[in-house]
Amino acid sequence: MSEGVSRQPKHSRRGLILFVVVVLALIALVVVHLLTQKKRTHAAAPMIVTVAKARLGSMPVTLSELGTVTPIATVTVLPELSGYLTTVAYREGQEVQKGQFLAQIDPRQYEIDKQQAEASLAKDSALLAQARAALARYTQLDERKSIAEQTYADQQFLVQQDEAVVKTDQAMIAQYDLDLVYCHIVAPVSGKVGLRLVDPGNYVTASSSTGIVVITTVKPTTVEFTVPQDSLDAVMQRLNAGATLQVTAYSSDNARQIATGTLYAVSNQMATATGTVTLRATFPNDDEALFPNEFVNIKLLVDTMQNAVLVPTPAVQSGAPGDFVYLVNADNSVSVHKVKLGPSNGADTVILSGLSAGDDVVTDGTDRLNDGAKIRTATANSAAADGAASQSATAFHHHKRARGASEPAAVSEGAPANAAS
Query: What's the chain's average pLDDT?
Result: 84
Residue 366 lies inside a defined structural domain of this protein: yes
End position of a domain, from candidates 159, 191, 215: 215
Q: Given pLDDT bands bounded at 50, 70 and 90, which one contains residue 45?
A: confident
Same domain, 202 and 122: yes
Does residue 297 sit within a domain?
Answer: yes
Q: Is the peptide bond before 220 cis (omega within 30 degrees of 0)?
A: yes
Considering the domain architecture, whether residues 239 and 203 belong to the same structural domain is answered as no
Task: Give 356's contacts (C-beta < 8 A, 6+ positions apart).
Answer: 54, 309
Q: Is residue 86 domain-shared with residue 124, that is, in the same domain?
A: yes
Say whether pLDDT at 400 is over 60: no
- Is residue 292 assigned to a domain? yes
pLDDT score at 37 = 62
**271 lies in the same domain as 327:** no
In a domain, 408, yes or no: no
The answer to whether residue 32 sits within a structural domain is no
149 domain-assigned: yes
CATH number at residue 332: 2.40.420.20
Q: How confident is the model at residue 111 (pLDDT cuts 50, 70, 90)?
A: very high
Same-domain status, 332 and 258: no
Residue 110 sits in a domain whose CATH number is: 2.40.50.100
pLDDT at 44: 58
Q: For residue 2, is it within any domain?
A: no
**CATH of residue 231:** 2.40.30.170
Residues 101 and 210 in one domain: yes
> Per the structure, how many domains does the chain have?
3
In this structure, are 84 and 192 located in the same domain?
Answer: yes
pLDDT at residue 91 greater than cutoff 60: yes
At 21 the pLDDT is 80
Shared domain for 257 and 302, answered yes or no, is: yes
Q: What is the pLDDT of residues 206-233, one digit of tens each?
A: 877 789 999 999 999 999 999 999 999 9
194, 277: one domain: no
My answer on whether 163 and 286 are in the same domain is no
Q: Residue 230 falls within a domain, yes or no?
A: yes
Average pLDDT over residues 332-355: 90
pLDDT of residue 34: 75
Based on the domain organization, do 274 and 344 belong to the same domain?
A: no
Residue 165 domain boundaries? 76-215
- Determine the pLDDT at residue 384: 41
Domain boundary, last residue among 265, 281, 307: 307
**Same domain? 210 vs 282:** no
End position of a domain, from candidates 192, 215, 238: 215
136-140, 143-147, 245-249: range with lowest mean pLDDT: 143-147
> Which percentage of the chain shows pLDDT scores above 70?
85
